Amino acid sequence: MKVAAILLLCMALFHQGHSNSCQGRCGYGIDTSYSCQCNTACERYNDCCSDYYTLCKEAALSCNGRCGESYNAQNPCHCNSLCPQYNNCCSDYSTLCNAVVGPTSCNGRCGESYNAQNPCHCNSQCSQYNNCCSDYSDYCSTGDSGATITDAEIKSLSETLFALDTNKASASQLILDPQALVADSQTSSQSDLSSRPLYKFVDENALFSRPTYAALLNLFDNYKRITGQAESFTSQQLTEQETFLKETMLNTELGRELFAFLYTKGVYKSEAEFIEDLKNMWFGLYSRYNGAMDSSGFEHIFAGEIKGGKVSGFHNWIRFYLLEKRGELNYYSHSFNGPWSNYPDVLGLQFHWDGYYKQVGSAVIGCSPEFDLALYSLCYIARPGKYCYLSLGGKQFIIQTYTWDNSSYGNGKKYIGSAYPVSM
């Protein structure tokens, strides 16, 4: 009994001596027996110990002694081989950890200067010297343009375009009613779990009167949704295609910013070349079924199609709203809701379109037509057929693009097969 009492007394004295310090406690969960805390939550609740920032925060912001450690959600930044992919490395990761973790990937390294210490390289000359990292083509190549566009440049440009999207919907102009959220395993059940429409209110007077919205609306009725039925366009409809491209890409600061970037990278020599290539890329016809010239990148992504008895493509929020308003589309549920609190946001949707089901139709919600077109075009030009990693408001956003490989335009350039937000 005396020994037990002495042990308890010692523990109590030790606890008392350390209750106001983070010594040996950094990252621990909340413990109410202590008078102050030593994890990231303490900043929110204003109950950090006085030495938290010295002992815990400064250490957590550095990779010193942490290279290759396992992921810990409590840490504000990370020091493992996956942090470049998720853009959450500590600022000194490349300095302290490359030798430990090993710079064997081009993730986050495209275009870097040559360093003889690295086992493989990610600059424009590595192909010549046969010393590229194995994933160089995944992260650093650009497809048809021949220019090198790095992951960092794509993320930086996407943040700029995000800030320039002044035509996006505000919270008062667009009100959603998402209702049922389902697991990925439930998306194939075709269960209508939402009794009300997804779109509770859209301020058409404010939004649809804007030139880029009006130009997009003029295009939706130009297509036959069933694949296998050849598309043909009148002179008026061809003019509508050109108007849409000029309004979105030449008459907005956002579109001009995209062109300026691609111009400096040597992808296009003039605005005329830029618009002509987008016209072929987006509106050029090819065959998805039975040899008929029945499809294009625009029709597939913005308008949506029916192929094989189900909805194919369909990744535009304005198209969804208009069809739902007319009673031709029935919203069932959503399986993904992005981390953004304002527009644009991303949703993964389940719905029936006049008798045909879409298991997961992801879309950027509330953005302007020029923002949609600019991001998809950027990703298709820079990362054709691959994941394209962007950043919107400091949060990672991924677009998957697909090339159409069965036919081409110009000097072997490939049409857009598909592009959509990754919802997972």
Q: How many domains does the chain have?
A: 1
Q: What's the confidence (pLDDT) of residue 13? A: 46
User: Which of 119-133, 173-187, 198-212, 402-416 bottoms out in mean pLDDT, i.e. has the lowest?
Assistant: 119-133
User: Which of 60-74, 267-281, 405-419 bottoms out in mean pLDDT, i.e. has the lowest?
Assistant: 60-74
- Residue listed under structure tokens 């002495």: 6
Q: What's the confidence (pLDDT) of residue 16? A: 47
Rounded CA separation 169/167 (Å): 7
Contact 337, 345 (CB under 8 A): yes
* Dihedral sign (CA 412, 239, 401, 301): negative
> Mean of the per-residue pLDDT values for the chain?
87
Tokens coding 319: 């198209």
Q: What's the confidence (pLDDT) of residue 373? A: 98
Is pLDDT at 7 greater than 50 in this prediction?
no
The answer to whether 352 is a known catalytic residue is no
Is pLDDT at 390 greater than 50 in this prediction?
yes
- Residue listed under structure tokens 């108007």: 243
Tokens coding 221: 């009725």
The answer to whether 300 is a known catalytic residue is yes
User: Residue 208's pLDDT band (boundaries 50, 70, 90)?
Assistant: very high
Q: What's the confidence (pLDDT) of residue 30? A: 59
Domain span holding position 195: 157-421
Greatest mean pLDDT among 7-16, 64-73, 128-137, 170-179: 170-179
Please report whether residue 131 resides in a domain.
Answer: no
Instruction: Please state the pTM of the whole predicted model.
Output: 0.70
Task: Give the CA-trace dihedral at 23, 26, 30, 33, to 10 degrees.
Answer: -10
The answer to whether 121 is a known catalytic residue is no
Give 130-163 pLDDT, tens digit per residue.
Answer: 788 877 766 665 555 556 898 999 999 999 999 9
Rounded CA separation 159/392 (Å): 5
Is pLDDT at 395 greater than 60 in this prediction?
yes
Please report whether residue 341 resides in a domain.
Answer: yes
Of 78, 54, 55, the residue nearest 66 (C-alpha): 78
CB-based burial of residue 59 (10 Å sphere; 0-12 exposed, 13-18 middle, 19+ buried)?
middle
> What's the mean pLDDT in 309-338?
98
Please report whether residue 359 resides in a domain.
Answer: yes
Greatest mean pLDDT among 38-52, 79-93, 183-197: 183-197
Please report whether residue 387 resides in a domain.
Answer: yes
Please report whether residue 86 resides in a domain.
Answer: no
Give 11-27 pLDDT, tens digit per residue.
Answer: 444 444 446 787 767 76
Q: What's the confidence (pLDDT) of residue 375? A: 98
Q: What's the confidence (pLDDT) of residue 181? A: 97
Please give the share of the chain, as a percent, with pLDDT higher than 70.
Answer: 82
Q: Exactly one of 57, 78, 300, 386 is catalytic; which is it? A: 300
Is pLDDT at 369 greater than 70 in this prediction?
yes
Q: What's the confidence (pLDDT) of residue 85? A: 58
Residue type, 233: F
| DSSP letter for each residue of 229-250 | S-----HHHHHHHHHHHIIIII
User: Which of 127-136, 274-283, 291-300 bottoms out in mean pLDDT, i.e. has the lowest?
Assistant: 127-136
Q: Exactly one of 155, 168, 334, 358 is catalytic; which is it? A: 358
Q: Exactly one of 315, 334, 386, 414 is catalytic; which is it? A: 315
Is pLDDT at 3 greater than 70 in this prediction?
no
Q: What's the confidence (pLDDT) of residue 5? A: 52
Please report whether residue 206 resides in a domain.
Answer: yes
Q: What's the confidence (pLDDT) of residue 269? A: 95
Please report whether residue 380 resides in a domain.
Answer: yes
Please give the share of the chain, as a percent, with pLDDT higher than 90.
Answer: 63
Please report whether residue 110 resides in a domain.
Answer: no
